[in-house]
C-alpha cells in the first residue's frame, strides 16, 4: 500500500465519519476528530470517563497525520502513518466495527434519460506475508455482477464518482445476474491468483536465514553429546520464528450501483 493509497484511505475514513479536515495537502492532513472517533482511536478511556462523570465539555483531539514524510517540505510535525503502522491497523479495525459492508449508489441527475445503474461488488483485501519479517499489501478488487468482469484498484474507480447511501428514485437498478456470494467467491480466487503470481523470494530468503540460525545453534552445541532441554526449545523457537505463511483478510466491502 503506497503513501498515496494510505492518504486517500485516511481522507475517506475521516470524511465518512464526519471529522473536519482543517489542513491538508497530498502528504499530510490535520483533522478535528469527533467525540466518537476520538474514543475509538485516541486510547484515552479514563479521560472520557472523567469528563462524563463531571459533565465536562467534550474536547476531542486534533490529529496531524503524515502519509509521505519524504515529500513533505513544510516542517509539519505529526504522526507518520504507513501501511503496517499501529495507527493505520487501528483504523482498519474501527472500519470493521463501524460497518464492514455498505450499499451505495452513484449520484445521478434527474434530468435527461432515466439513468441505468449496474451492480458491482467491491472488496478490500489485506494480504500479509509472515516470517521473521512481515510484509503487508492492500488489494482493492471489484466485480461487475452483470458481466463477471473483475477490475483491480476498484477503490480508485470509486474515488472518481459521487456516491450516496440512498439512490435517486429516477434511476433504474439492473438486477444482478451473479449473486454477491458467488461474486465474492470469484474475487477470492482472483486474490489467490494475484498472490501466486507475486514475487516469493521472501520465502526462500526466510528459509536461508532459518538454516543459518540452525547452523549457529548446532555449532554452539556440537561438543555436547546429550543435548539439554533448552536445545530443543531453541530449535523449535527458530522454526517458529522463520516459518513462512500467508494470511488473506477482508477489510471491508460493499455493493455499489454505478453508471455504465
3-state secondary structure of 32: strand
Same domain, 177 and 54: no
Residues 127 and 72 in one domain: no
pTM exceeds 0.85 for this model: no
Does residue 147 form part of some domain? yes
Contact 63, 81 (CB under 8 A): no
Q: Which domain holds residue 78?
A: 1-98
Of the two residues 62 and 12, the one the predictor is more confident about is 62
| For residue 22, pLDDT beyond 70 | yes
pLDDT at 238: 92
- Residue 46: pLDDT over 80: yes
Residue range 228-245: mean pLDDT, rounded: 89
Residue ending a domain, among 73, 98, 123, is: 98
Domain assignment present for 38? yes
Do residue 149 and residue 251 come from a single domain? yes
For range 145-151, the mean pLDDT: 94
Last residue of a domain, one of 38, 73, 98: 98
User: Is the pLDDT confidence value at 195 over 70?
Assistant: yes
β-pair partners for 246: 129
**pLDDT at 218 > cutoff 90:** no
Residue 143 has pLDDT above 90, yes or no: yes
Q: Long-range contacts made by residues 111-114, C-beta under 8 angstroms, separation at least 24?
A: 114/170, 114/171, 114/172
Is pLDDT of 260 > 80?
Answer: no
pLDDT for 154 beyond 90: yes
Can you tell me the mean pLDDT for 48-67?
A: 90
pLDDT given for residue 109 in this prediction: 76
Report whether pLDDT(61) > 80: yes
Higher pLDDT pick, 9 / 183: 183
What was the pLDDT predicted at 86? Answer: 87
Cα-Cα end-to-end distance for the chain: 28
Amino acid at each position: 500500500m503506497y503513501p498515496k493509497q494510505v492518504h486517500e484511505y485516511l481522507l475517506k475514513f475521516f470524511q465518512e465519519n464526519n471529522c473536519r479536515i482543517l489542513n491538508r495537502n497530498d502528504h499530510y492532513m490535520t483533522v478535528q476528530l469527533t467525540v466518537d472517533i476520538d474514543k475509538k482511536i485516541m486510547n484515552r478511556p479514563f479521560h472520557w470517563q472523567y469528563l462524563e462523570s463531571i459533565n465536562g465539555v467534550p474536547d476531542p483531539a486534533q490529529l496531524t497525520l503524515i502519509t509521505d514524510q519524504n515529500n513533505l517540505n513544510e516542517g509539519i510535525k505529526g504522526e507518520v502513518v504507513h501501511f503496517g503502522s499501529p495507527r493505520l491497523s487501528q483504523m482498519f479495525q474501527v472500519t470493521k466495527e463501524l460497518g464492514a459492508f455498505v450499499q451505495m449508489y452513484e449520484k445521478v441527475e434527474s434530468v435527461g434519460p432515466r439513468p441505468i445503474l449496474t451492480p458491482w461488488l467491491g472488496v478490500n483485501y489485506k494480504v500479509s506475508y509472515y516470517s521473521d519479517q512481515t510484509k503487508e499489501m492492500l488489494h482493492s478488487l471489484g466485480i461487475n455482477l452483470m458481466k463477471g468482469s473483475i477490475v483491480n484498484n476498484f477503490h480508485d474507480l470509486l474515488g472518481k464518482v459521487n456516491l450516496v447511501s440512498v439512490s435517486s428514485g429516477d434511476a433504474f437498478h439492473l438486477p444482478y445476474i451473479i449473486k454477491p456470494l458467488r461474486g465474492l467467491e470469484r474475487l477470492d480466487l482472483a486474490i489467490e491468483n494475484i498472490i501466486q503470481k507475486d514475487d516469493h523470494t521472501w520465502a526462500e530468503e526466510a528459509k536461508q536465514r532459518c538454516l543459518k540460525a540452525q547452523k549457529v545453534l548446532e555449532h554452539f552445541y556440537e561438543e555436547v553429546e546429550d543435548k539439554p532441554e533448552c536445545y530443543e526449545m531453541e530449535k523449535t523457537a527458530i522454526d517458529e520464528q522463520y516459518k513462512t505463511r500467508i494470511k488473506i483478510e477482508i477489510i471491508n466491502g460493499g455493493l455499489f450501483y454505478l453508471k455504465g
